Amino acid sequence: MTLFKQIALLVSLMFLLLTSIIIINDLKRTALFLQGQLQTTAQDMTTTLGIAISNLPSAADDATLEVLFNSVFDSGYYSTIRLVAVDGSTIHEKSQQINIEGIPQWFLQMVSLSPAQGSTQVMQGWSQLGQLTLILHPGYAYSGLYESLISTLKWFGLIFFSAIIILWLVLHYLLLPLKRVKQQADSIQRNQFVQQQKTPGTSELKSVVLAMNDMVSKVQSVFNDQEATITRFQQLLYKDKLTGLANRRYMLDHLQQSLAEESPFHGCFGVIKLVNFDLMRDRQGYQFTDKLIQQLGTLINQKHSGLLAEKTARLSNDELSFLIAADEESVVDFIKSIFVEVKKLSLLKGTNEEGYVVAGVSPLEPDCVMGDLLAGIDYCLSLATSEGPFGIEQKVSTILDLPKGKIQWRAWLDDTLKSDRLFLVGQSAFDQTKTAVQKELFIRTRNEQGQIISASTFMPMASSLGLAIEIDKAVFKLINKNSTILKDVPLAVNLSASFFELADAQEEFDHLLQSCHSKGIQLCIEASHHVLNQHPLMCSQVSERVKKYRHQFGIDNLDLSLSLQLLKSTQFNYVKINAKSLNDLNSDDMSSAYQALKTLTNTLDIKIIAVAVDSEILFNQLQKMGIQVMQGNYLNESEIVGG
C-alpha cells in the first residue's frame, strides 16, 4: 500500500470518527431542544384554542367547534384534539393518522422524539366547561432534523474530498525527493550516478536525500578510483613512455588475440620502420631521433584516406606498428597518405638522406602463428628497405584461392551471399562446473574449391565495399533458420562496426530479438569495446532494445587502455577480456590493478568472461584469480552449428 493510501486511510478513519461524534452529539442536543419546543408549542396551542372555545356563545355548537379544530389541524403535525366535559363525556374530538414521508426508518429509530401533549381547563362564563387536550406529533421535528443531517453530511463530504485532494497534492509535492531517490537507485543499477541538486525543506526528507547523494558520490568515487587505478597500471604495463603509444607487449598481446579464430577483429597488421635510426641517433643525438619518432607516431594516429588505426604501438626503437580493420589495398593507401605527410617533416629533411621510412603490411589470418607473422613482416621490411625510401611491401597471403581486386571481391561476396555459402560455427564458454553458459557464434564461408574461409579473411574487404551490413543480416537469418538446434545455451552474437554506423539492419535485428524471445532462446548481443566507444548513443539504443526482450548485452574484447566510462553509461551484463591481459594484471607488481578491475565490475554487477584461454597453465592461473567463466581452444574447439 502506498504512503498516500495509508495516510488517506488514517485521515478517513479520523474524519469519520470526528464526523460521527459531531453529528451524534448535535442530533442529541438538537433533539432535546426540539422536544422542549414541541411541548411548549403544544401547550401554547392548547391554551389559545381553549380561550377561543371559552369565548363561544354556545360551547355545544358542533359546527363552530369543528371549524376551530380544523384550523388547528391544518397548521401542523397535530394527531389528536379532544374536549372532555366535567362528567367525562366527550364534547368534541378530532384525530388523524400522521405518516412521516421521506425519512428513513433507521433515522426514526436513532432519534427518539415523543409526541408533545398540552392540556387546559375550558371555562364557560364562571363555570368549568371541560378539559381540552391537544397532542402534537414530532414529524415536523423529524423532517427538520433529517434535512439538517443531510446538509451536514454534504458539507462534511465536500470538505473530506477537498481535504483528500489537497493531501494528494501536498504529498505529491513533498514526496518528489523520494521519487528522485528511487530514480537515483534505479540509475545506480544502470551504472549511472545522479545527484539531486534541489534539497527538500522537510528535515526528514532532507536527511534521506543528503544520505543518498553521499552514497551516490561514494559509489561514483569508487568507480573513478578503480578506473584510475586500472588506467595507471595499464600505462605502466602497456604504454611507451617516449611516444605515449602502446608498447611492444601491448601489440603482441593484441596480435595474438586478433589471430585467434574467435577474434572479432578483421584487418591487417602494418609496420613503419625508420631506416638508419641508430646512425641518426649517433650523429644527431637522442633528442633528435626521439622527436622524430614522436612525430611519426602522431602521424600514424591521425586519420588518413578515411581510415584510422585502431591500435598503434612502438614495436621497437625504430619501428611503429598498427592494426587497421580494412583490406590490404586500403591499408596500403593509408600508409601512402602517411608517407605524404612524412615527406613534409623538417626533421627528416635535415638527415642528409641518411634516414627514411619504409613499411610492411600483412593480413591477419586465422590459425597463423604469431612468430611467422612477425617473421613475414620483417622480410617485407627488408625488401622495402632494399627498394629505398618510402617502399611498401605486402606479405603474400595463404594458399587460399581468393579474389585479387575489389571488383572480383565484390562479385565473389555477392555470389557468396546469394548462394547461401555462409554458415555458423560456435565456441562455448564454460563456468567452473564445466557447464556451458553461452555459445559464441562466428561466420564462415566456403569458396568454389570447398576451402573454409574465416571472417577475418573476407570481412575487411566486405567492410570496404559496404557489404558488412549484408553479412550481419545473413547471420541474423542463419540464427533464425537454425533456432531449433540452438536452444540449449544462450547464443553470443557479435555485431559489426557497420551495424552501429548504418541503420539498414535495424528491422532485421528487432525481428531476431523478438523471434528468439518468443522461441525461448536467449541472445547475448555484443560488440567490441572500440566500436561501442565510438558509437555511445547507438550503444545505448541497442542496449534498450536488447533488454526489452530480456536478452543480454556485453562488451567483446574489453580494452583496458580505453576509457571505462562506457561501463557506467550503459548497463552491460558481461565483458570479455583476453586471458593473457587478465594474467598480466595479476602479476606481482600489477595485482592491485586486477583487484581494482574486480571491484569495478562487482560494483556494476558485470560478469567477467576470460577469452582466448589456450593452455592449461593459463587456465589454472585464471582459476586461482577467481575467474569463473572462460572460453578458448583449450576448453573446446569451434564446431559447425548451422548453415
Cα separation of the two ends of the chain: 54
Q: Which residues contact 299 (CB under 8 A, 6 or more apart)?
A: 338, 341, 342
What is the pLDDT, as a whole number, of residue 316?
Answer: 92
Residue whose grid cell is 523520494: 178
What is the pLDDT, as a whole number, of residue 172?
Answer: 77
Distance of alpha carbon 335 from alpha carbon 380, whole angstroms: 14
pLDDT tens by residue, 444-462: 888 877 788 888 788 888 8
Domain locations in the chain as residue ranges: 3-165, 248-394, 406-642
What is the pLDDT, as a whole number, of residue 59?
Answer: 57
Task: Pick one of 3.30.70.270, 3.30.460.80, 3.40.50.300, 3.20.20.70 as the CATH number of 248-394.
Answer: 3.30.70.270
HEC readout, 468-496:
HHHHHHHHHHHHHHCHHHCCCCCEEEECC
Distance of alpha carbon 239 from alpha carbon 249, whole angstroms: 9
Task: Determine whether 486 is exposed, middle or buried from the number of CB atoms within 10 Å of its CB (0-12, 13-18, 19+).
Answer: buried
Q: Indicate the angle between helix axes 328-342 and 455-464, nearest 10 degrees.
A: 60
Residues of the chain with pLDDT under 70: 1, 58-60, 75-76, 98-100, 188-193, 261-264, 349-353, 366-367, 396-400, 588-590, 642-643
What is the pLDDT, as a whole number, of residue 437?
Answer: 93
Same CATH fold assignment for domains 248-394 and 406-642: no
Grouping H, G, I as helix, E, B as strand and the rest as coil, residue 371 is helix
Instruction: Please give the full DSSP string across 436-465, using - where no structure is assigned.
Output: EEEEEEEEEEE-TT--EEEHHHHHHHHHHT
What is the pLDDT, as a whole number, of residue 588?
Answer: 66
Q: Where are the alpha helices (DSSP H) in 586-628?
A: 591-603, 616-625
Q: Quick one: which of 606, 604, 546, 544 has its CA closest to 573?
A: 606
At residue 95, φ and ψ (nearest 5 deg) are: -145, 160
What is the pLDDT, as a whole number, of residue 60?
Answer: 57
Enter the C-alpha cell of residue 571. 548497463
The three-point CA angle 366-369-372 to 5° equals: 120
Q: What is the DSSP letter of 199?
A: P
CATH number of the structural domain 406-642: 3.20.20.450
pTM of the model: 0.64
The helix (H) or strand (E) run that includes residue 556 is strand 552-556
What is the pLDDT, as a whole number, of residue 283?
Answer: 84
pLDDT tens by residue, 164-203: 888 888 877 777 777 777 777 777 666 666 777 777 777 7
